[in-house]
Amino acid sequence: MKSKSNKVSRRSFLKIGAAMGAAMCVPSVVTNAMGANSSAVINNSTTADNDLPFIKESRTLGNGKHALRVSALGLGMMGMNYHRGPHPDKQAMIKLTRQAVERGVTFIDTAIGYGPYTNEELTGEALEPFKNKMVYGTKFYDGTDRGAALERYIQECLESSLKRLRIDTIDLYYLHRYSGNVPIEEIVVILQKFIKEGKIKHYGLSEVNAETIRKAHAVEPVTALQSEYHLMWREPEKNVLPVCKELGIGFVPYSPVNRGFLTGAINEYTRFDMGNDNRNILPRFTPEAIRSNTRIVEVLNAFGRTRGMTAAQVAQAWLLTKEQWIVPITGTTKLAHLEENLRTLDFTLSPEEMAELENGVSQITIVGDRYPASEQQRVGH
């Protein structure tokens, strides 16, 4: 493992964030990281004035004319006002989003279903000053219960997202969930039309199986697949990732630190808001499951302790090292955690270290399903 990073704990990151109030007011130069040519995990450099992390690495999702260049880490917007409990002040989240851009993040992820609508609205307002420098990813539900009105429904979703995001075209438009009620080819033909019209540049799929990926790709090449993937959920390795590699499709893992669990910040006494935090219904976030699965966090902490890495950085470095066409999107509501995530790019893991880490985690039986049965039925078609 190679690093230029200082050895800093997660608690230290929080202390640093609290002390940076004055520094936040200093204007920063916004740089478009998409111009970078490196496709490998490289040691990160920082801004000269205050040693803040800055992403210089970019990666490519998709192939050929369907390729999309993005920053090596993306920012997931969902948790800023949806599914993660009482959300912070809107202006604070706008400020945090802009700070991410100032630190080289060019890839932003949201969805029409987050809120619904309010997350796209937040994203649009936050990024309006930088919209020509950003890569926007958003999602729509397939609406396959609409029959002949399907195209009109997707067009309405698209037009409304463009309005909320305050842009003229969407860089990466995902099918959020595929119900399987109509052939995937029919949906892709509709998206293909919007690509030709210039309303979207590329399309992606979320939480679908290998067969669906192949069928969609045969109609119009898929640029990226977004699915849950982390050290506690490695199912994509069985069929989905091999297909992505074969077809040249990028992979965007959501929840790369398992909804905060792999940071070590959650324990069996943590309680989740019943109104706006979906973790309260997830089997892996019951007190019993958390108590058992904490052993995984202990493995990450032990691995990172001798390398100057926090558990969150270990989890994300593992993803970044798996493949060069993998681009995690990590969400946060705190500047200290944002900078902790960005400093993950200070580290590279050797094959031996990857094997050591995976072996340590594999010794632990994970307790609890990732979704309740009602939610699990919505994925994997």
Name residues whose C-beta falls within 8 Å of residue 19's C-beta, 6 or more positions apart in sequence. Answer: none
**Residue 11 backbone class (left: φ over 0; alpha: ψ -120 to 50; beta: rest):** alpha
Find the length of the chain.
381
| Gap between the Cα atoms of 56 and 249, Å rounded | 22
Known catalytic residue: 114?
yes
H/E stretch holding 79 reads: none
Name residues whose C-beta falls within 8 Å of residue 358's C-beta, 6 or more positions apart in sequence. Answer: 231, 318
* HSE-up of residue 328 (Cα within 13 Å, Cβ side): 27
Which of 114, 136, 174, 229 is the catalytic position?
A: 114
| Gap between the Cα atoms of 79 and 69, Å rounded | 24
Cα 277-314-35 angle, rounded to 5 deg:
90
Per-residue tokens: 70: 């993005």
Name residues whose C-beta falls within 8 Å of residue 295's C-beta, 6 or more positions apart in sequence. Answer: 364
Burial zone of 378 (CB within 10 Å; 0-12 exposed, 13-18 middle, 19+ buried): middle
Strands (E), the chain: 2-3, 45-46, 53-54, 58-61, 68-71, 74-76, 107-109, 135-140, 170-175, 200-206, 224-228, 250-254, 329-330, 347-348
Q: Which residues are catalytic?
A: 114
